[in-house]
Amino acid sequence: MVWKKLGSGNFSDCPNGSRRWIWDVFGECAQDGWDEASVGLGLISIVCFAASTFPQYIKACRTGNMDQALSLWFLLGWIGGDSCNLIGSFLADQLPLQTYTAVYYVLADLVMLSLYFHYKFKKRPSLLSTPINSVLLFILGMACAAPLLRTTGPVAARREVFRGRTLLSVEPGSKPFTQQEIIGFVIGSVSSVLYLLSRLPQIRTNFLRKSTQGVSYSLFALVMLGNTLYGLSVLLKNPEVGESEGSYLLHHLPWLVGSLGVLLLDTVISIQFLIYRDTATSSERQPLLPS
């Protein structure tokens, strides 16, 4: 467990730390109950995000119309945002735990994208099916091998800020942005924009179909819960010593805007589920009716 070695010998840098295991595992100095709650909510948000795709996998296998129910641009925007987190975890030299979690998110997105093309080409065979499947398999293999490519040399002990799905966070400070902070801020902003833009095509697809059949509401419900917990984990975290709350919020602005913005758009999708629930129910019962 490499991440234990990063902080285990430097707990003295956290004089008011209340939980040694938080420092050992996440490199986070939890100074009081608010910081402990922030880490706990961040952990729960990761579980929500990690579990969100499984209901959609099951729904896709049951209905077989994933290519019609989900927008391709929604899936591409989602995987784009997660890919930015994965790239950022390498550029900012994040803790291995954060990198492995980012790899998992990308793998889960690739599985969902593979299911989309599977059902699309199953109904409408195309000459592009083989090249697309080959590209997806290549990307899948690269994502699996990514953790093995990390630098294995000695790494200077440091503290990292633990966060939820948006894994690329940088240590805030009242001083001007460092190069690492600029990298994190830019990639975090791009990731947030991709997450936000991904919802618009799905909202449009639901509106044009006048139905949410084939889409699992649990997917969006768990993501909404994860974003809510993530936002709370950021807001509950105490600023660093000598840092104002305004400076702290400025350094975390892209991730807060992304999480709260996605939460708002997912609320719109939730309203669509309520509006079109009768249509979805009748469509699911249609095969049972006599011809």
| pLDDT exceeds cutoff 60 at 7 | no
pLDDT digits (tens, 9 = 90+) for 147-189: 555 444 443 334 444 344 444 444 444 556 677 777 777 888 8
Q: Could you list the beta-strand ranges (E) of 104-152.
A: none
Q: Please tell me the predicted confidence (pLDDT) of residue 95.
A: 57
pLDDT-based confidence at residue 5 (cuts at 50, 70, 90): very low
| Structure tokens, 58 | 């099951």
> Full-prediction pTM beyond 0.85?
no
pLDDT digits (tens, 9 = 90+) for 14-67: 766 567 777 777 767 777 788 888 888 888 988 999 899 999 999 988 888 888
For residue 183, the one-letter residue type is I
Query: Where along the chain do its domains lie?
Result: 31-147+178-281
Q: Could you tell me the sign of the dihedral formed by the alpha carbons of 75, 76, 77, 78, in that order?
A: positive
What average pLDDT score do residues 129-153 get? Answer: 52
